Amino acid sequence: MKISEAAERSGLSIDTIRFYEKRGMLPEIHRGPDGHRRFTPYDIDWLTLLYWLRETGMPLSAIHRFTHLAKAAAGADGDAGLAERRQILLDHRDVLSKKRAMLSRCEDVLSIKLAQYGDPAEENE
């Protein structure tokens, strides 16, 4: 499939896909006889993972390290860098958990404040 369809399926923009490719964060994207990129389902899975890692706020440097390790593993026995890749994901999961807890506390504070303002429906009665 072409880059436009890959962008649509993965949630990434065409420019972002090109950026990731230039940064060496994608597997080798094969090109057709016309010179255009041809994305496989494997490539789409990879792009989708990158989309969600960025969507969750993972720093680009961590994504770069993760993809570098994953690409190295693909060319080796598959287990190369597995422990480090796992740790990158575990660390990021911890960050997300802390953010979730903070957002929950923020929501509680807003709820308390809103309760102090009263229910606007009661004011109209």
Residue 63, C-beta contacts closer than 8 angstroms, at least 6 positions apart: 25, 50, 53, 54
Residue 73 has a pLDDT of: 82
| CB distance 73 to 88 below 8 Å | no
Give the pLDDT of the chain (125 residues) as one tens digit per residue.
999 999 999 999 999 999 999 999 999 999 999 999 999 999 999 999 999 999 999 999 999 999 999 888 876 666 778 899 999 999 999 999 999 999 999 999 999 999 999 877 766 55
Residue 113 has a pLDDT of: 94
Residue 51 has a pLDDT of: 97
Report, in angstroms and rounded to the nearest whole number, the Rg of the chain calculated over CA atoms.
21
Residue 123 has a pLDDT of: 62
